[in-house]
Amino acid sequence: MSISPPPVPAPATPLAAASAVACHAHKFGGSSLANAERIRHVAALLREEDAARIVVVSAMQGVTDALTALANCALAKQPWEDDFRALRARHLDTAHALDAGGVHALAAWLEDEFATLHAQLSAPKRSPEWFAEVQGVGEVWASRLLHAALGDDASRWAVLDARDVLEVHAGELGVGVDWPASRARLLAWRGARPHANVIATGFIARNGNGVATTLGRNGSDYSAAIFAVLFEARELTIWTDVDGVLSADPRLVPDAVCLASMSYAEACELAYFGAKVLHPQTMAPAMHAGLPIRIRNTLDPEAPGTLITAQSQPAASPVKGLSLVPDMAMLELTGAGLIGVPGTAERMFAALHTACVSVTMISQGSSEHSICCVLRADQAERGRRAVQAAFRDAIADGQVEGVRITPGVSVLAAVGDGMVGTTGVSARLFHGLAQARVNIRAIAQGASERNISVAIASEDATRGLRAAHAAFWLSPQTLSIGLIGPGNVGRALLAQFAQAASRYGGGASGLDLRLRAIANSRRMHLAPRRLDPGEAVEALELGQALDFDRFAAHVRAEHLPHAMIVDCSGSDAVAAHYADWLAAGIHVVTPNKQAGAGPIERYRAIRAATRNGGGHFRYEATVGAGLPVIQTLRSQLDTGDELTEVEGVFSGTLAWLFNRFDGSVPFSQLVREARDAGYTEPDPRDDLGGLDVARKLVILAREAGRELSLEDVEIESLVPPALREVSREDFLARLHELDAPLQARLDAAKREGRALRYLARLDRNGRARVGLVSPEPNHASLHSQLTDNLIQFRTRRYASNPLVVQGPGAGPEVTAAGVFGDILAIAQALGARP
C-alpha cells in the first residue's frame, strides 16, 4: 500500500530566519510525559541541544482516554465526578512536583482549567465542537507542565496552542491541512513572540470557521509533522518508549531488532499493517517536504533510533520488517457465473463501501471463479449482508454460490524496499511458513513489490510471524526442544548443550536451541520459557507425572516456530509416539533403535508422516553413534547406487571386548572393565545378547529399501541360556560362566591362525545374521582399534573394494555428538546458519 501526500505549498516567507540556527522539531508522546519524573527527563533532554526547537507534546499518558470517557459519561448522564477528581489530582500533584515554589503559578492555572472543564461537563452539548474542546485539553495541560519543568530556561520558550495557528478541514481520507492559512497564522503568531524555542500542543486544531477540532487518534504525530514543515525544521525526532521502529512486534517476537533506517514507503507499509510506532498519516507532510524523521527512545536517549528518509540504507535482508494484523475475517464470493463477467469486483466493493466496510487485503485467482477480501472481524457480518444483497439475483439464479465468511484470520505482511526486483523473496516467506506448519489462506502483493501479505489462521499467527522473521534472518531460528531420557547419552547431550550455549545462543549463529522440557520414564518437567541444561535433571525432582500428550503439546508451543523432541531413552513406548509427533510437525531426533528396527507397520507410519509434510526424522546415532553411517549409505543410494551386502562390527562394546580378548585374562574380567568404563549398558546382557547389533542391521537394511524385520535376523547370543532370565545382580555374580565356552572358541580360532570378532552381515540374497565368527586374517575388523565400529558397504559401485566407515562407536559422548549433529542438520534445513 502506498500513499500520495497532499501538496504542501512552499512558504511565502522563510520562517527559519527567525532563528540563528536551523530548527529541530521534537515530538514527545504520552509515555514520555507520564509523570513528573518523566517530564523532568524530557526537559533535561531539551537542555542538551543548542539548536532552535519546536517541541510538540501529547497529553500525559492515558489522559486523552480519560477525557473521552468523561465526555461520554457526561453526555450519557452517568457519574463522572470521581474520575474528574482523580484526573485533577494527578495533574495538580504533577504541577506541585514541577513548580514547587509556584514560580510559574502552574497549580493556580490548572485550577482554572479544571474549573472550566467542570463547567463544560456539567452542561454537556451534543456537538463535535464541545466534544473536541473536552477531548483536547490534555495537550494544553501537558504543554504547560513541560514549560514549568524547564525551570530557569522557561523564559526562552514560548507555548503555542495549536488552535491559534493550525487550520484544518475534513477530507475523505482524513483531516487535511489548510497550508496557506496555517502559514499566515503562524507568521502572525511568531511576529508577536521572539522566542527561538516553542512548545506546541499536538492533536488539536481549528477548522475554517474557527471551531475547535482534533486530528483524530495518533493526531499528535501528525501535528508534529505539520509543525516541523511549518517551522521548516531540518529533522523531526519522535520520542517514544521503544528504541525505534522494530522489525516486528517485540511482544510477539522477542528477538525483533531495531532498524537503523527505513524509507518513507517502508514506514508507511509497516504502519498501515499494524506497526504502532508511527501513524501513516504522519508521513504525508514529511514525504512531500523531504523531512527526515527519527524515532528515538526517551528512556534510552543514547540509542541511535531509526532514521526514516526518502531512501533507506541497504540491508542484509530484502525484508525490513513484518507486521501482524489480528482480529480479521475473510469474505469470499464464489460462483461459476463470475467468470468473465465485467464489473463483478466493482459491484462487490461498491456494496462494501456503501456498508462502510474497510477492506484490508484483496485476492482473486486468474480463473475469476472467486473473489476474496480480508476485513475487520467486527465488520464481517455487515459486509456479508451487503455483498449478499448486491448479488441476490445471481444467487437466486444459481450463478453465484453465495458469500462465505471465514473468521479467526490474521494478516501477516512482509515489507521492504529490498524486495523490489529481488527473486526468491516470496519463496523464502512461504518456505518459512511451511516449515512452521502454517497454512496460507490468501496471498496479495502490490505492483510496487515492497509488500507481500498473506492471510493465515489466527491460531497460527504468532508462530507464523516468528517463522517468517527467522526466515529472513531478522532473528534466530528458534527450536523448542523436549528431551526424553536423561541417562548416560541424555546427560552427555545436556552437557554439550551447555557448552554450545555461547555458539548457538542466537545472534550471528541464526539459531536458538531452547530446551523447554525434560522427561524420564516416570516424570516430566515443563519450563514456561527456557530450561538451563545444567539444571534440567535436577528439575525433574520437582516435576509432574509423565503425560506424553501434555509433553508434546508443551514443546509444540504456538508462539514458537519449530518444535523438536529428542528421545535418548531406548524405550519402545516412546518410539510408539513418533508417527503422531511427526504428523503434528514435531521434529524427532533419536539414538533409540526401537523405531527403526521395531514393527514394520510402525516404521511405515513414521516414514509416511515425514513424507506427508510432517516433521524431520533424524536417527544417525542409532547405528554408529557419532559416525556418518546412515548418511554415507543414503548418499550412495540417493545418487543411484545399489546396496548388495553390508558387514561389520556394529557394537563399540563388543569391538572393545574382542579387540582385548586374547586369552591373557578371562572374558568375564573384560566385561567388568568395560562396564566400569561406561562402554556397556547397565545390564551387559543388552550388549552380549546381540539384539542391539541385530537392530542396527535391520535399520540399515530398511534404509536400503529392504523390508527386514528383527524376526528375520539370525542372532547368536553370547549369554548362556541359564543366565538369560536371572536378575542383573545374579548375572553379574555368575559372569564367570561365560569364560569357558568363549575361551574354547578362542582356542579353536587360534589353531587356524585367526581371532574372534562379533560381526553382523546382510548378504546379497537377503540373509541377515549377527554372531561370533573367526574372520579371514586379512579382514578389516581385525585391524580396528578399541571401540571402533567398522561397517563395510558393498554396492554396485563398490563391488570389489567395499566402502568402509570406521571410528569410535561406543560411549555417551560420541553418541550424544551424533544426536547433536542431527539436531543441527534439522536446524540448517529450517534456515538456521550454525
C-alpha cell at 64: 486523552
What is the C-alpha separation between 223 and 406, in angstroms, rounded?
39
End of a domain among 417, 439, 473? 473
Q: Tell me the pLDDT of the chain averaged across its residues.
A: 89
pLDDT tens column, 324-333: 999 999 999 9
Check pLDDT > 80 for residue 578: yes
Q: What is the CA radius of gyration of the chain?
A: 37
Q: Which residue has the cell 524523521?
A: 293
Q: How far is CA 714 from the centre of its chain?
A: 50
Work out how many domains the chain is built from and give that number.
4
Residue 104 lies in a domain: no
Which pLDDT tens digit goes with each residue over 688-712?
999 999 999 999 999 999 999 999 9
Domain match, 189 and 282 both: yes
Whether 87 maps to a domain, the answer reads no
* Residue 503 binned pLDDT confidence (cut-offs 50, 70, 90): confident
Q: CA 504, CA 724: separation in Å to the nearest integer?
A: 45
What is the residue type of 566? V
Whether residues 663 and 603 share a domain: the answer is no
- Cα 674 from Cα 810, distance rounded (Å): 11
Query: Following DSSP, what letter does each residue of 434-500 receive, concatenated?
Result: HHTT--EEEEEE-TT-SEEEEEEEGGGHHHHHHHHHHHTTSSPEEEEEEEE--SHHHHHHHHHHHHH
Backbone angles phi, psi at 437, to 5 degrees: 65, 40
Asked, for residue 93, whether it belongs to a domain, the answer is no
488: closest CA among 681, 225, 759? 681
Q: What is the dihedral of CA 469, 470, 476, 480, to 10 degrees?
A: 100
Give the separation between CA 616 and CA 420, rounded to whole angstroms: 33
The span from the CA of 762 to the CA of 647, in Å, is 6
Q: Which of 314-323, 388-397, 407-416 has the highest mean pLDDT?
A: 407-416
Residue 648 and residue 787 share a domain: yes
Band the pLDDT of 825: cuts 50, 70, 90. Answer: very high
Position 396 scores a pLDDT of 83
The fraction of the chain above a pLDDT of 70, given in percent, is: 94
Q: Name every residue whose Cβ is closer than 8 Å to that of residue 392 and which is 6 or more positions away in sequence.
A: none
> Are 353 and 466 within one domain?
yes
Of 51 and 69, the one with more pLDDT: 69
> What is d(CA 308, CA 224) in angstroms, rounded to the nearest whole number?
15
The count of other CB atoms within 10 Å of the CB of residue 12 is 10
**Among 496-510, 787-801, 807-821, the range of highest mean pLDDT:** 787-801
Is residue 128 situated within a structural domain?
A: no
pLDDT of residue 15: 41
Return d(Cα 692, Cα 593) in angstroms, integer: 8
Look at residue 78 and give its three-state secondary structure: coil
Query: How is residue 309 written as a grid cell?
Result: 528518509
Alpha carbon 21 to its chain centroid, in Å, reads: 45
Q: Minimal CA–CA distance to 247: which of 229, 230, 262? A: 262
Local structure of residue 58 (DSSP, 8 states)? P
CATH code of the domain in which 338 resides: 3.30.2130.10
Q: Report the alpha-carbon distance of residue 293 to residue 240 in Å, rounded.
A: 13
Among candidates 458, 365, 476, 464, which has minimal Cα distance to 410? Answer: 458
DSSP 3-state of 196: coil
CATH number at residue 44: 3.40.1160.10
Which pLDDT band, with edges at 50, 70 and 90, does 276 fall under? Answer: low
End position of a domain, from candidates 448, 473, 498: 473
The last residue of one of the domains, among 432, 449, 473, is 473
**How far does Cα 105 stand from its chain's mean position?**
52
Same domain, 256 and 238: yes
Cα–Cα dist 322/560, whole Å: 16
On whether both 248 and 350 belong to a single domain, the answer is no
The reply to whether 463 and 491 lie within a common domain is: no
Q: b/e string for 392-402 if b means 16 or more Cβ within 10 A?
A: eebbeeeebbe
Q: Which of 626, 483, 475, 5 is nearest to 284 (CA)?
A: 5
User: Average pLDDT in the 62-67 region?
Assistant: 96
Task: Identify which of 92-96, 249-253, 301-305 has the greatest average pLDDT.
Answer: 92-96
Q: Are 515 and 531 in contact (CB under 8 A)?
A: yes
Neighbours of 606 (CB within 10 A): 24
Strands 235-240 and 523-526: unpaired
In this structure, the answer to whether residues 462 and 487 fall within a common structural domain is no
**Single-letter code of the amino acid located at 280:** P
Task: For residue 60, give the amino acid letter.
Answer: M
- What would the pLDDT profile of 158-208 be if each residue is shown by its tens digit? 999 999 999 999 877 678 999 999 999 999 999 999 899 999 999 999 999
Query: Do 381 and 467 sit in the same domain of this protein?
Result: yes
Say what the pLDDT of residue 6 is. 43
Segment of 58-72, 433-447, 808-822 carrying the highest mean pLDDT: 58-72
Per-residue pLDDT tens for 380-402? 999 999 999 999 888 888 888 88
Q: Is the distance from CB of 655 to CB of 809 less than 8 angstroms?
A: yes
Looking at residue 368, its pLDDT comes to 63
Whether residue 406 lies inside any domain: the answer is yes
| pLDDT above 50: residue 13 | no
Average pLDDT over residues 437-442: 92
Q: Which residues contact 180 (CB under 8 A, 6 or more apart)?
A: 9
pLDDT of residue 699: 96
Q: How far apart are CA 116 and CA 727, in angstroms?
A: 92
347/352 Cα distance (integer angstroms): 9
525 within domain boundaries: yes
Q: Any idea which residues carry the catalytic annotation?
A: 696
Task: Give the model's pLDDT for residue 277.
Answer: 63
Q: Are 7 and 288 in contact (CB under 8 A)?
A: yes
Report the b/e string of 683-700 with b at 16+ CB within 10 A.
Answer: ebbbbbbbbbbbbbbbbb
Q: Do 640 and 544 fall within a single domain? A: no
In this prediction, residue 314 carries a pLDDT of 75
The pLDDT of 303-316, averaged and rounded, is 86
Is 517 within a domain? yes
Q: Which amino acid is at 262?
A: M
218 and 301 share one domain: yes
Q: Provide the pLDDT for residue 125.
A: 94
Q: What pLDDT is recorded for position 508? A: 54
pLDDT, mean of residues 60-67: 96
Q: Is residue 88 part of a domain?
A: no
Q: What is the pLDDT of residue 461?
A: 93
Full domain range(s) for residue 566 = 477-624+819-829
- Confidence bin at 16 (pLDDT 50/70/90): very low
Three-state DSSP class for residue 650: coil
For residues 433 and 550, state if they share a domain: no
Mutual angle of helices 128-135 and 106-122, in 10-degree steps: 150
**Contact between 178 and 213 (Cβ < 8 Å):** no
H-assigned helices in 53-178: 63-75, 81-98, 106-122, 128-135, 137-149
